[in-house]
């Protein structure tokens, strides 16, 4: 019996055609799939802990934080730390 391949989550960063890379963090946020693991974001230069990206709509990005939904203006997000690991201090 043949082995089944593991399903892999697509990577919104590396799975882009050449020349289509996002130029701004907001462009990247619009490409993230719902439920994508994100551990921290930078909002106006301040590190905010988050758990998962939920959605982006009309310039507002929604994240899950300790089972609560939190919304940020997409234009205020300066950076994203992906995964579930802890950032370096």
Residue 55 forms beta bridges with which residues? 62
39 domain-assigned: yes
Domain harbouring 57, CATH code: 2.30.30
In a domain, 78, yes or no: yes
pLDDT at 83: 74
Domain, as residue range, for 77: 34-82
Q: Could you tell me if residue 22 is inside a domain?
A: no
Cα→Cα distances 86→13, 19, 40, 55, Å: 20, 31, 9, 23
26 found inside a domain: no
Specify the number of domains making up the chain: 1
The tens digit of pLDDT for each residue in 2-51 reads 555 555 556 665 565 566 666 788 888 998 999 999 999 999 999 999 99
Sign of CA dihedral 62, 70, 42, 44: positive
Query: 70 lies in a domain?
Result: yes
Residue 8 belongs to some domain of the structure? no
- pLDDT digit string (tens) for 60-89? 999 999 899 999 999 999 999 987 666 555
């Amino acid at each position: 019996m043949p082995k089944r391949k593991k399903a892999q989550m697509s990577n919104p960063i590396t799975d882009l055609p050449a020349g289509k890379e996002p130029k701004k963090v907001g462009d990247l946020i619009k490409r993230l799939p719902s439920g994508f693991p994100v551990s921290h974001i930078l909002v106006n230069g301040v590190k905010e802990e988050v758990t998962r990206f939920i959605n982006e709509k009309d310039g507002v990005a929604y994240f899950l934080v300790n089972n609560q939904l939190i919304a940020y203006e997409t234009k205020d997000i300066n950076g994203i730390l992906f995964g579930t690991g802890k950032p370096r201090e």
